[in-house]
Amino acid sequence: MTSLSVPVATLGTPRIGPRRELKLALESFWAGKISEQQLLEAAAGLRIANWARQKSLGATIIPSNDFSLYDHVLDTSVMVGAIPEAYGWKGGAVSLKTYFAMARGSQGDAHDASCSHAHHGHGVTAQEMTKWFDTNYHYMVPEFHKRQTFKLSSHKVIEEYDEAKALGYQTRPVLVGPVTLLKLGKSQDASVDPVSLLDGLLPVYVEVLQELARRGAEWVQIDEPCLVLDLNETERNALQRAYARLAKDVSGIKIMLATYFGAIGDTIATALALPVAGLHVDLIRAPQQLSQIESGARQDLVISLGVIDGRNVWRSNLSALVERYKPVIAKLGAGRVQIAPSCSLLHTPIDLELETGLDPDVKSWLAFSVQKIAELSTLAKALAGDASVADALAASDKAAKARQTSPKIHDAAVAKGMAAIDDAMRRRTSAFASRAEVQRKRFALPAFPTTTIGSFPQTADVRNARAAHAKGTLTNAQYEQFLKEETARTVRWQDEIGLDVLVHGEFERNDMVQYFGEQLSGFVFTQYGWVQSYGSRYVRPPILFGDVSRPKPMTVEWWRYSQSLTKKPMKAMLTGPVTILNWSFVRDDLPRSEACRQIALAIRDEVTDLEKAGATMIQIDEAALREGLPLRHSEWKTYLEWAVESFRICSTGVADATQIHTHMCYSEFNAIIDAIAAMDADVISIETSRSKMELLDAFTSFKYPNDIGPGVYDIHSPRVPETTEMRDLITLARKRLSDSQLWINPDCGLKTRRWEEVRPALVNMVAAARELRKAL
C-alpha cells in the first residue's frame, strides 16, 4: 500500500434518478402540477444524490454539469446563446420556458415518438433531434445561422460547480467541446459550415473556463467525441485552433480532453499535439490506441484510460484489467494516469441492486453504473497494490469464469444451427421478377394497393389493460379477451374502409423489440434498467446475454386469429434481427454479427411457422438497420454485409409466392441503397411524406426493382392529411417509380396516434388510391 492510488473518474453519470425521479418531476412540471421552484429542487436533489453516490463508491474525480434537465447539447447551445430567433429570446438569461420550447416546441407536443424508440421529433417549433453518435441517446441539434454571434447566456456550468463546492465536492465540470458542438449542429444557411463559426464561439468558452478557474476549479473535462469521426482538414484545423486559443487565453485550469465511442484513428497525431493537460481515450472500443498513446504522448500529458465499458452492462474481469494496466501505469508513471469508464455512464442503467427479478447467475455477470464505479475503485486499489481488494478481485474472477462456461449462455443446438447456415439459406428460391409474377397472380391486388405499417392506436384502454394484466388484476383470460376484441374491431374496420392488405394492430405488444425478446431464449429484462433516450423519455433495453433460440412460435396464434376475421391478406408482423440487436444491450463475448445471425435464425423459424400456418404476407421491420451504421465510413461495408445477410437469413425460408415486406423508419437511403436492394424484400415501406418524395430519388437512380410503399401520411403529427394532399404525394412518387411498384401506406405505425386522427386519415388515404386507380 505504498504506491499512489490511481485517480478514478466517472466522466458523467445518469441524470434520470434510480427511480426515474427526473421524469416524474419534468412531467409534473409540464402538466402544471408542480412549480418551477419545485422542479429545480427535485433536480438539485438528484445532483446531490449523484455526487454523494459517486463519492461513496470511491470515485475521486467527480463531474459537475453532467446533469441536465433535458439534454446536455441543448444546455451547451443555450450556454453559448445559439438560440434561433423563432424562440423569441431577447438576450439575457435564458428562461426555462425558452429552454423547454427549444426542447419540445411551445405546445410541448413535439417529440411524440411514433417509432417506439423515440427519434425524429419534428415538432412545430422544437429543435431537431438526432442520435448522439452511435448511442440510443438523442440530442437537440444546435442550429446556427450566417450572422450567428455567441454570448455567454447560461451560467449553469458555473452554478453547478459552485453548488457542488458548497457541498464539499471539488468537481471537474464537463462541457461539450466547441468543435463537437459546431460539428453536430446545422446551419440555416446552406452556405455556412457551422465549423467556420469557431472563432466567434471560442471567447464564450474562454470566459467560462476563466470563471471556473476563478472559482477554484482545477480541471475541466471538455468532451470532443467528434475526434472519433472521419474529420476533414478544416475540422482538424478547427481543433488545433480551438485548443491553441484556450491554452493561450485561459490560465489556472487544466483541460481533460475526452474522446469516446471509438478510436481517434488518423487524427491521433493532431489529438496528441493539442496543448491540453489530459486526454481521455476509449480503450473498450479502441484498445489498440493504447500503444500509440504510450509512445506518442507528451511526457506531461495526463492519460485517462477508459477501461470499463460505459456502453454496456457487463461486469469486468478485474484481474485481467489489473494485469493489463499494471505495466501501462509503470510505464507512464502513476502520477500521469487516471482510470475511467470508456465514456460517460449516461448510457448505462443506474443500479443493478434494484433488480429483484433477474436470474441470479445472469445478475452476477452484470454491472450497471453504480457497480461500474465500484469496479473502477477496486481496480484503482488493486493497481496500487492494495491487498484489501483481494476478495473483490476473486469474486470478479469467479463471475467471469462462471459466465464463460455457463450452460445458460452456450447452447449447442444454436451452434449447430449457425454452422449449418449455407448459401441457400441466404437467398430466395427465385429472383424478384419471377416471385413478383407468382405473387401478382396469387393476390390479384388493385393498382396502388393500400396497407398500414402494423400498429394501431395504443389507447389508454390498451395501456391500462396491459398494466392491469401485469399487476395481476386482469386475468390471462380476461386480458386475452380484451386484446381479441380490440384486434377484431380493428381488423373489421380496416376491411370496411377498404384497405387492401390488413394488419392486426399489435395491441398485444408492449414494444416491438421487448415483445420478441421476452419470448426468445438468451434475453433478460430489467425492472429499473432505464436509460435516457431523449428528454424525459427513457427505455429499458433488453439484455442479450446468451445464445438465442426460439422455444416456440411467438406470433402465430395472433396471426391465425386475425386472419380468421377477414378474407383479405393479413400481414404477419415481426421485428427483424438487426433492429432487435441494435436496440438491446448485447453480449460482449461474441461479435455483434454472430449475435445478429443467431437472432436471424430464430426469426427465420418464426417466418417458416407463419407460412405453414397459412400466412401469405410477412413483414419484418428493420427500423434500426440504418441507425446501426458505424461512426466511421470505413466500417460501413462490413456492418451492412452482416446486417443484410441477417435479414436474408430470416426472410428467405419461404416459397416464392409468400410476400416478404419490410419497413424502415427513415428515407435517406442514398448511401446504402445497394444494401437495401440486397435485402431483396418483395415490398419495402419507408418514411417519405415530409420529404415531398425527393428522397425516393435514391431508388430511382439505382433502378430499384422491388415494390415500395413511400409513406404518404405523416404519422408524427396529429394533423389529418386530406385526400388531395396524399394524391399529390403519390403523383410525385409516380414520377420517380413505376406504377406497378407502388404501394400506398402511412410513414410508420399508428400506435402513438388517436383513433380520431387515424380514422379520417386512412379513409382519405384509401380515397386517394381509388381516385388514382380510376384515372389509370
Sequence-distant (≥ 6) Cβ neighbours of residue 774 within 8 angstroms: none
Identify which range of 175-183, 222-230, 660-668, 759-767 contacts Zn ion by CB under 5 A. Answer: 660-668
Q: Is 455 annotated to bind ligand?
A: yes
Coil/strand/helix, residue 458: coil
571 near ligand GLN, rule: CB under 6 A: no
Query: CA 544, 312, 277 angle in degrees (round to 5)?
Result: 165
Residue 751 contact, options Zn ion, ligand GLN, none, Cβ 5-8 Å cut-off depending on partner type:
ligand GLN
116 near ligand GLN, rule: CB under 6 A: yes
Q: Is 20 annotated to bind ligand?
A: yes
Identify which range of 73-81, 255-263, 353-361, 451-459 contacts ligand GLN by CB under 6 A. Answer: 451-459
Compute how many residues bind ligand GLN; rule: CB under 6 A: 15
User: Based on CB atoms, which residue is closest to ligand GLN, 349 or 749?
Assistant: 749
DSSP string, 306-369: EEE-TTS-BPP-HHHHHHHHHHHHHHH-GGGEEEEESS-GGGS-S-GGG--SS-HHHHHTB--H
Q: Which of residues 723-752 bind Zn ion (CB under 5 A)?
A: 748
**CB atoms inside a 10 Å sphere around CB 292:** 18
HSE, side-chain direction, 13 A CA sphere, residue 531:
27
Q: Which of residues 606-625 bind ligand GLN (CB under 6 A)?
A: 621, 623
User: Based on CB atoms, which residue is closest to Zn ion, 223 or 714?
Assistant: 714
Q: Are 619 and 573 in contact (CB under 8 A)?
A: yes
- Closest separation between CB of residue 435 and Zn ion, Å? 24
Identify which range of 223-231, 266-274, 323-331, 450-458 contacts ligand GLN by CB under 6 A. Answer: 450-458
534: phi then psi, degrees, rounded to nearest 5 = -165, 150
Q: Is 687 annotated to bind ligand?
A: yes
d(CA 275, CA 257): 10
Q: Are 257 and 222 in contact (CB under 8 A)?
A: yes
177 near ligand GLN, rule: CB under 6 A: no
74 near ligand GLN, rule: CB under 6 A: no
Tell me the residue nearest to ligand GLN as measured from the CB.
749
All three cell numbers of 571: 400481414
Position among 6, 409, 512, 539 found at the interface with ligand GLN (CB under 6 A): 512
What torsion, rounded to 10 degrees, do the Cα atoms 419, 422, 427, 428 define? -100
**Residue type at 416?**
K
115 near ligand GLN, rule: CB under 6 A: yes
User: Based on CB atoms, which residue is closest to ligand GLN, 116 or 723?
Assistant: 116
Nearest CA to 156 out of 225, 77, 247 is that of: 77
Integer CA distances (angstroms), 676 to 600, 623, 633, 667, 690, in order:
17, 12, 17, 11, 21
749 near ligand GLN, rule: CB under 6 A: yes
Q: Is 480 annotated to bind ligand?
A: no
User: Based on CB atoms, which residue is closest to ligand GLN, 76 or 514?
Assistant: 514
455 near ligand GLN, rule: CB under 6 A: yes
User: Based on CB atoms, which residue is closest to Zn ion, 605 or 621?
Assistant: 621
d(CA 736, CA 593): 35
User: Based on CB atoms, which residue is closest to Zn ion, 115 or 601?
Assistant: 115
β-bridge mates for residue 9, sequence order:
61
β-bridge mates for residue 186, sequence order:
143
Integer CA distances (angstroms), 217 to 13, 171, 213, 683, in order:
19, 7, 5, 58
Q: Are 344 and 325 in contact (CB under 8 A)?
A: no
Q: Is 635 annotated to bind ligand?
A: no
454 near ligand GLN, rule: CB under 6 A: yes
665 near ligand GLN, rule: CB under 6 A: yes
Q: What share of the chain is helix, strand, coil (3-state, %, to 5)?
A: 50, 15, 40
User: Based on CB atoms, which residue is closest to Zn ion, 29 or 713?
Assistant: 713
Q: Is 280 annotated to bind ligand?
A: no
| Contact pattern from residue 13 through residue 52 relative to Zn ion, giving x for each residue in contact according to CB under 5 A and a dash for the rest | ----------------------------------------
Position among 43, 59, 80, 115 found at the interface with Zn ion (CB under 5 A): 115
d(CA 225, CA 280): 10
Q: Is 294 annotated to bind ligand?
A: no
Active site positions, annotated: 716
Identify which range of 186-194, 447-455, 548-556, 585-593 contacts ligand GLN by CB under 6 A. Answer: 447-455
Identify which range of 138-146, 285-293, 452-460, 651-659 contacts ligand GLN by CB under 6 A. Answer: 452-460
Site of interaction with ligand GLN (CB under 6 A)? 115-116, 453-455, 506, 512, 573, 621, 623, 663, 665, 748-749, 751
Give the annotated binding-site residues for 5-methyltetrahydropteroyltri-L-glutamate: 20-23, 131, 583, 627
Site of interaction with Zn ion (CB under 5 A)? 115, 665, 748
